[in-house]
Amino acid sequence: MTETRRIVIAGGSGLVGSQLLRLMLDTSRSGASPTDAPEIESVTALVRRPLGISNPRLHEVIVDFADAAALRAALDEARPTDVFCCLGTTIAKAGSQAAFRAVDLDAPLALARAALEAGAEQFLAVTAVGADVKSSVFYNRVKGELEAGLHELSFPRGVKLVHPSLLLGHRAERRPAELFAMGAMRLSARLFAGPLWRYRAIKDVQVAQALLHAALREPPGDRTYEGKSLFLLAGLAS
Ligand SMILES: NC(=O)c1ccc[n+]([C@@H]2O[C@H](COP(=O)([O-])OP(=O)(O)OC[C@H]3O[C@@H](n4cnc5c(N)ncnc54)[C@H](OP(=O)(O)O)[C@@H]3O)[C@@H](O)[C@H]2O)c1
C-alpha cells in the first residue's frame, strides 16, 4: 500500500462522516493513530455546504452529486487513494422513495465511478445490516443495490463495506423513532449476542474507526464487516 494516503470523503457532515473526518484530521500529520497507520496527506470533503472546519490538510469542495462532470473534476483534482462514502438520508427527510434512492444509491455509485476513473485504489462505504437486493424492505433493497453496483467496479484494493445496525450518536435534527430505538438498544445490548450481534447498536465513532482501520490496515480485497467483525475492526470486541 502507498504509505501516503490522499482521502476523499462524501457525507463528512453526517453522524458517521463527521467522526471519520475528525479521526483523519487528528491523525493525519503525525500518523499518530492507534497503531502505525500510513500518513494521511490530504482529506478532500465533498459537501453541499461549508463544514465550518479549518485544517491545513482539509480541502472542501462543494459539489452536486447529480452532476457527473463536476464530480469527476473534483475527484481528478484530489487524486485520491481512498474514497469514503458516508452519504445517506431517510425517506421522510428526502420526501419520496425516488429522492431517497438519489442520495443512498445514485450519488454513492456516481462517486464510486468517478473515484475509479480518477485512479482511487479502494472505495469504502457505510451501508446497513440487512442490505440485500432481494429484500422486501425498500431501505434494505436500496442498500443491496448499492452494494451490487459497487462490486461491479474493480478497485485495485477492493470495496470495503460496513453494515451497522442502529447508529448511536448526537444529531441536531430530531428523529423520534431512532431516539426510541436507541434507548431500547442501550438497555438490551447484552441480549444481542451470538447471531444477534449484527443487530447490536453501534456508536457513530466506532463505525468511523472501523472504516479507517479497514482502509489503512486491512488487506486488499472486497470485504463486508457486520456484527462482531465490525466491532472487532473498531477495536472494540475481543
Ligand atoms: N442512522 C442509522 O441508525 C443507520 C443505521 C444503519 C445504516 N445507516 C446508514 O449509514 C450511513 C450514514 O448514516 P448517518 O446517520 O451518519 O447519516 P447522516 O448523519 O444523515 O448524514 C448523511 C450525510 O449525507 C449528506 N447528504 C444527505 N443528502 C444529501 C444530498 N442530497 N446531497 C449531498 N449530500 C447529502 C448529508 O449532508 P448534509 O449535512 O448537507 O445534509 C450528510 O453529510 C447512511 O447511508 C445510512 O443509511 C444509518
**What residue spans define the domains of the chain?**
4-233
pTM of the predicted model as reported, rounded to 2 decimal places: 0.92
pLDDT reported for residue 172:
73
Q: Count of residues for the chain?
A: 238
* Residue 10 alpha carbon, nearest atom of ligand 1: 43
Give the mutation target among 167, 182, 186, 203 for probing the ligand 1 site: most ligand atoms within 8 A of CB: 167
The cell numbers describing 55, all together, are 485544517
> At the fourth CATH level, which superfamily is domain 4-233?
NAD(P)-binding Rossmann-like Domain (3.40.50.720)
| Percent of the chain with pLDDT strictly greater than 70 | 85
Residue 30 clears pLDDT 50, i.e. is over it: no
What is the distance of C-alpha 101 from the center of its chain? 16
HSE, side-chain direction, 13 A CA sphere, residue 135? 17
pLDDT tens track for 40-84: 999 999 999 999 999 999 999 999 999 999 999 999 999 999 999
Residue 154 clears pLDDT 70, i.e. is over it: yes
Cα of 104 to ligand 1 centre, how many Å? Answer: 8
- Could you give the CA distance from residue 186 to residue 202 in angstroms, rounded to a whole number? 10
State the burial class of residue 139 (Cβ atoms within 10 Å of its Cβ: 0-12, 13-18, 19+): middle
pLDDT reported for residue 110:
98
pLDDT reported for residue 31:
42
pLDDT reported for residue 179:
67
